[in-house]
Amino acid sequence: MSETIKYTLWGVAFGLGFPIGSMLLLHFTEHLPHPSGLSGWVACIAQAHAENILLYVVDSAPIWLGLFAYLAGKRQDQNRRLASGLEREVLAKTHSLRQALAEAQQANETIVYLAEHDALTGLLNRPRFERELTRWLDHVQRYRRPAALMFVDLDYFKRVNDTQGHEAGDHYLIEFAAMLRSTFRTTDQIGRLGGDEFVVLMPDSDREQAIAAAEKLLRTLKEATIEIHGVRHAVSVSIGLALAPEHSTRADELIRCADAAMYEAKQAGRAGWRMCTQAQARRDQLPRR
**64 has pLDDT over 70:** no
Whether pLDDT at 65 is above 80: no
Q: Which of residues 111, 141, 162 is at a domain's end?
A: 111
Confidence band, pLDDT 50/70/90 cuts, at residue 28: low
- Residue 119 resides in a domain: no
User: So what's the pLDDT on residue 281?
Assistant: 83
How high does pLDDT run on average in the chain? 81
Helix (H) or strand (E) holding 148: strand 147-154
Is residue 121 included in any domain, yes or no?
no
Shared domain check, 271 and 175: yes
> Are residues 143 and 105 part of one domain?
no
The total of structural domains in the chain comes to: 2
Task: Annotate 222-240 with b (16+ C-beta within 10 A) or e (fewer).
Answer: eebebebeeeebebbbbbb
What is the pTM for the complete model shown? 0.68
Mean pLDDT of the region 215-220: 98
- Could you tell me if 45 and 154 lie in one domain? no
Contact 204, 237 (CB under 8 A): no
CA angle 44, 45, 48 (to 5 degrees): 75
pLDDT beyond 60 at 251: yes
Catalytic residue among 196, 252, 259, 284: 196
pLDDT in tens, 110-151: 888 889 999 999 999 999 999 999 999 999 999 999 999 999
Same domain, 154 and 247: yes
**Residue 1, in any domain of the structure:** no
- Please tell me whether residues 102 and 135 are part of one structural domain: no
**In-domain check, residue 70:** yes
On whether both 190 and 64 belong to a single domain, the answer is no
Distance CA 103, CA 106 (A): 5
The question of whether 196 is a catalytic residue gets the answer: yes
Among 139, 135, 91, smallest CA distance to 251 is for 135
CATH code of residue 206? 3.30.70.270
Residues 67 and 170 in one domain: no
Task: Answer yes or no: is 47 within a domain.
Answer: yes
Q: What is the pLDDT of residues 37-61, one digit of tens each?
A: 555 555 655 555 545 444 545 455 5
The C-alpha atoms of residue 85 and residue 91 are separated, in whole angstroms, by 10
Which of 58, 77, 111 delimits the end of a domain? 111
Regarding whether 142 and 97 lie in a shared domain, the answer is no
pLDDT of residue 216: 98
Residue 236 and residue 189 share a domain: yes
Domain of residue 182 covers 126-284
> Within this chain, do residues 100 and 222 fall inside the same structural domain, yes or no?
no
Judge whether 195 and 254 are in contact, CB under 8 Å. Answer: no
